[in-house]
Amino acid sequence: MQRWDAQQYGQIGGFVPDLAADLMEWLAPLPNERVLDLGCGDGRFTARLQATGATVIGVDCSPAMVEAARSRNLIVEEADATALPFGYATFDAVFSNAALHWIRDQDAMLREVRRVLRPGGRFVAEMGGHGNIAAIRVAFAAVLERYGIDGDAGDRNYYPTARAYEEQLSKHGFLVERMVHFPRPTPLPEAGMFGWLNTFRLGILDEIPTEKRQRVLNDTVKMLLPVLCDEQRRWIADYVRLRFAARAR
């Protein structure tokens, strides 16, 4: 299970909402439209959505993130994406950024999104796509194995191809209007790969005894240095995105 430290995420993960800024154009929210922000995190993007004049509700399963988002004066529910606390056809649009790849039961989540969306409503989202953070995954898994930890535990996220996800969406009653799969090399803030691992791999790191944890971090960073760090020692993470706009039939 991933654990989120909202303060750490606020410092390290600011690029997540910032780099998805143009996703707003894909959603094109209208004033007073009812929009669900699924996996809203600390609410940074949710606040931007609300500023457009839409009526926005955020949902996240992390209590720390819900608390952080509520501190921005947003309406946020703590809930699982596979069991949403809303009735049939509650929303005109469901939006999601960098959250869908964390959800294990994609079928249950897509069923829920379809249920809470009115017929004709939009589902606009961006998530990790096939090949996402491939170098980070391989290095982290190899180092975990070196220390006697199951490497698969290092990344249980789901990064589908465009074709696979289009099939998933259509199976669940969505008509895909636009979908793109593209690399997004992502410069990391000052804290570099240590900061990234300590933020986005906090759940698994929590389970490793302290003395081993530092060695796991050091070895992973060392392994990634030649491939993800540039001449100025700036880290660039190998993100790949899958972005889509679909309509509920």
> Phi then psi for 3, rounded to 5 degrees?
-115, 135
Site for ligand BEZ in 196-215 (CB under 6 A): 200
Residues 74-103, interacting with ligand BEZ (CB under 6 A)? 98, 101
- Between 4 and 91, whose beta carbon lies closer to ligand BEZ? 4
What is the Cα–Cα distance from 13 to 124, expressed in whole angstroms?
21
Least distance from C-beta 98 to ligand BEZ, angstroms?
4
Between residues 34 and 101, which has the closer beta carbon with respect to ligand BEZ?
101
Please tell me the distance from the alpha carbon of residue 119 to that of residue 159, in angstroms, as a whole number. Answer: 27
DSSP-derived pairing of the beta strands 236-248 and 174-187: antiparallel
CA 98 – CA 69 distance, rounded (Å): 16
Work out whether 132 is an interface residue with ligand BEZ (CB under 6 A): yes
Among the listed ranges 68-76, 86-94, 127-135, 225-233, the one in contact with ligand BEZ (CB under 6 A) is 127-135
Handedness of CA 136, 96, 124, 46 (dihedral sign): negative
Report yes or no: 4 and 35 within 8 Å, Cβ to Cβ: no
What tokens does 187 get?
A: 């410069």
Residue 114 in contact with ligand BEZ, rule: CB under 6 A: no
* Binding of residue 157 to ligand BEZ (CB under 6 A): yes
Closest CB to ligand BEZ: residue number: 128
Stretch that binds ligand BEZ, among 33-41, 125-133, 165-173, 226-234 (CB under 6 A): 125-133
30: DSSP letter: P
Give the interface with ligand BEZ as residue ranges (CB under 6 A).
98, 101, 128, 132-133, 157, 200, 239
